């Protein structure tokens, strides 16, 4: 028996997307098993084509990821989520800049980017002396199998401010969102930077012209229970570990800022079942391996950094509510304060119970999405 079937598929209704024609020829089929295999291959092809096509006409959100990767595993999950959204053509990752002052942080970042098919993304590093240890999972870049690196990487990191200035100078005005999920060193140094061969604008002017939003995981805007259950002002890690740049950034950053406080990620815990089961499509997966190296399941890790990435790329999807406009300041003890003002450029994220369920489901689906590089 010979079955010739021509199927026309239109993955997206936009007239700008060409109609994809899929020719399926099943020749001399002698078993249901053969038919099933062909249908399975067709299904995989269609799912990939639809995923790539459904967002073709949407504007990509340009994003820079500034991270202290290596100090907690949520940075790694957040980077994986960026790559998932990039595969869906919802964003374009311009650069990753690092505020953990150890060379393996850049190496592991490059390994993750390479795993997802984007090993060419520029990486910038700092010279701050803050958290100079390697970290529990960045050392995965040293692992080999059959004489080859388990996670290939060929990183050539450069100065973070240079990388930031280049990424911004080459972007359209008011087009770049920055997700800062570590310390404030790099962005504080950026707005202090003078004009140079990259741009005749100083750092503050360059940010004001090119950046649409800073989405930052820092501070706390609710009291947090201490070990005894007493509610206390929380001295959030990203702030207190690099306090002076955090204070400077809060007082001097010229664009809108959306603050994701400690309480937001604490309420959104990544289910350990996903780590144990959802990444097995690849024998070695950097997100799963990093999670196990940092603190193995069955614990559910808070998703602090993922929240800032999600808001930066999908700000209109109602995953979070927002405070009124105002101004965030950080005191000398590292405690964050918010003063409402109608002309303020700062707002902080809020979360209700309905949003919590939906946001966790979204985060898990994006972080565990297999690599589908689109270039």
The reported pLDDT for the residue numbered 28 is 39
Domain positions in the chain are 2-53, 61-367
Q: Residue 372 — very low, low, confident or very high, per pLDDT cuts 50/70/90?
A: confident
Average pLDDT (296-325) is 97
pTM of the model: 0.85
Say which range, 23-32, 220-229, 355-364, has the weakest mean pLDDT: 23-32
pLDDT tens-digit readout, 225-264: 998 999 999 999 999 999 999 999 999 999 999 999 999 9
Average pLDDT (314-327) is 98
CA 240 to CA 247: how far, in whole Å?
10
CA 375 to CA 372: how far, in whole Å?
9
pLDDT tens-digit readout, 297-311: 999 999 999 999 999
The pLDDT mean for the chain works out to 88
Q: Is the peptide bond before 298 cis (omega within 30 degrees of 0)?
A: yes
pLDDT tens-digit readout, 98-153: 999 999 999 999 999 999 999 999 999 999 999 999 999 999 999 999 999 999 99
pLDDT tens-digit readout, 69-93: 999 999 999 999 999 999 999 999 9
Evaluate the CA torsion angle 158, 159, 164, 167 in order and state its sign. Answer: negative
Supply 223's token pair: 């009291």
The reported pLDDT for the residue numbered 57 is 37
Give me the phi and psi of 19, to 5 degrees please. Answer: -70, 125
More confident call, 4 vs 69: 69
> Using only C-alpha atoms, what is the Rg of the chain?
22
In terms of DSSP H, where are the helices of 29-118?
32-53, 74-87, 103-115
DSSP of 16-36: TSPPEEEEEEEES---HHHHH
- Superfamily in which the 61-367 domain is placed by CATH: Ribonucleoside hydrolase-like (3.90.245.10)
Rounded to a whole number, what is the distance in angstroms from the first to the last CA of the chain? 39
CA 98 to each of CA 29, 66, 105: distance values in angstroms, whole numbers, following the listed order: 55, 6, 7
CA 92 to CA 296: how far, in whole Å?
31
Supply 68's token pair: 């202290």
Q: Residue 326 — very low, low, confident or very high, per pLDDT cuts 50/70/90?
A: very high
Average pLDDT (337-366) is 97
Average pLDDT (354-370) is 98
Q: Residue 38 — very low, low, confident or very high, per pLDDT cuts 50/70/90?
A: very low
The reported pLDDT for the residue numbered 58 is 54
């Amino acid at each position: 028996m010979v079955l010739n079937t021509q199927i026309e598929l239109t993955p997206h209704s936009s007239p700008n997307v060409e109609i994809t024609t899929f020719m399926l020829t099943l020749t001399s089929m002698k078993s249901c098993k053969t038919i099933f295999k062909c249908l399975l291959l067709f299904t995989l092809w269609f799912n990939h084509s639809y995923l790539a096509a459904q967002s073709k006409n949407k504007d990509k959100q340009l994003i820079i990821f500034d991270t202290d990767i290596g100090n907690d595993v949520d940075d790694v999950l957040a980077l994986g989520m960026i790559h998932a959204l990039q595969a869906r053509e919802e964003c374009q990752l311009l650069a990753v800049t690092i505020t953990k002052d150890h060379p393996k942080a850049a190496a592991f970042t490059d390994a993750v980017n390479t795993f997802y098919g984007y090993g060419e993304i520029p990486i910038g590093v700092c010279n701050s002396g803050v958290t100079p240890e390697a970290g529990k999972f960045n050392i995965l870049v040293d692992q080999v199998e059959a004489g080859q690196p388990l996670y290939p990487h060929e990183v050539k990191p450069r100065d973070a401010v240079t990388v930031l200035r280049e990424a911004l100078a080459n972007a359209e005005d008011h087009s770049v969102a920055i997700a800062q999920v570590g310390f404030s060193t790099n962005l504080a140094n950026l707005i202090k930077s003078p004009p140079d061969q990259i741009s005749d604008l100083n750092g503050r002017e360059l940010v004001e012209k090119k950046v649409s939003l800073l989405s930052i995981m820092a501070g706390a805007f609710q009291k947090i229970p201490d070990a005894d259950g007493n509610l206390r002002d929380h001295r959030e890690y990203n702030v207190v570990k690099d306090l002076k740049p955090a204070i400077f950034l809060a007082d001097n950053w010229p664009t809108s800022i959306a603050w994701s406080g400690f309480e937001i990620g604490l309420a959104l815990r990544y289910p350990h079942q996903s780590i144990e089961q959802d990444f097995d499509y690849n024998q070695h997966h950097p997100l799963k391996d990093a999670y196990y190296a940092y603190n193995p399941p069955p614990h559910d890790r808070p998703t602090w950094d993922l929240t800032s990435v999600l808001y930066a790329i999908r700000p209109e999807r109602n995953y979070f509510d927002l405070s009124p406009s105002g101004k965030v300041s950080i005191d000398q003890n590292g405690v964050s304060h918010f003063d409402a003002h109608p002309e303020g450029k700062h707002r902080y994220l809020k979360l209700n119970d309905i949003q919590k369920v939906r946001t966790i489901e979204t985060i898990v689906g994006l972080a565990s999405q297999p690599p589908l590089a689109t270039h």
